Homo-oligomer: A and B are copies of this chain.
């Protein structure tokens, strides 16, 4: 039986999603809480996640799946109670388990996803600083031109090799479809990027944001940024922005009837892939 888990977390004190020896990770905390609550061997509890967030990155709409033995009671009532008990076992409000549900036929949290949506919050000099939002807002000590950032964001969209924005990884494709990359200012004047793609390679969102920042402060022209993208190799003309500003907002899936097909196609196209 496959379960779908919807959750969020404040990533500040965690070394990212993926389990790593001797480091606090979301995956380890969650799997431990699940194993305890379900009374399963820890080695049997293996989640598969949609967006494998880096150290310090946050999430409000993360999705993962977990295969459990048939003996586990998966009635609506039992899953609501399980959600509460796992939340209790997590012993923190910084990881929030929103819901556990029975996954529809063919559901794969990672390969079944159509797209991932991220948000990046960046307070430049003119933004009003709200210390309550500081844990998930990066700070820039300069002013940024939002029009130039939006122009580059739009120009970067489409199907491209995004190798200039990715940490190199052997045998993994860096071809992605960037569906949306837009900037707005919120009521405090904080710059908020919305970034949507079929999938992202490692540090890609923060590097995309870095390219907009380089253009927004006048260090790189839009033409040069697009030229660097087309060279498709790692560049030092922009920075990978700090993890604290980045939040995974949501994972989009196709209608249930297309889930299995979507997963199969993605697997064929991307393996071995990153998210």
Contacts and interface: CB of A to CB of B under 8 A. Distances in A.
A131 interface: yes
A233 interface: no
Contacts of A205: none
29 contacts: A8-B130, A8-B131, A9-B131, A10-B131, A10-B132, A10-B134, A10-B135, A58-B131, A58-B132, A59-B131, A60-B131, A60-B132, A93-B129, A93-B131, A93-B137, A93-B139, A94-B131, A94-B134, A94-B135, A95-B131, A96-B129, A96-B130, A96-B131, A96-B134, A98-B128, A132-B135, A132-B136, A132-B247, A135-B135
Chain multiplicity (copies) = 2
- Of A59, A93, A98, which is in contact with the most chain B CB atoms at under 10 Å from its CB? A93
Nearest to A244: B93
Contacts of A247: 132
Nearest to A87: B129
Interface in A98-130: 98, 128-130
A139 B137 CA distance: 23
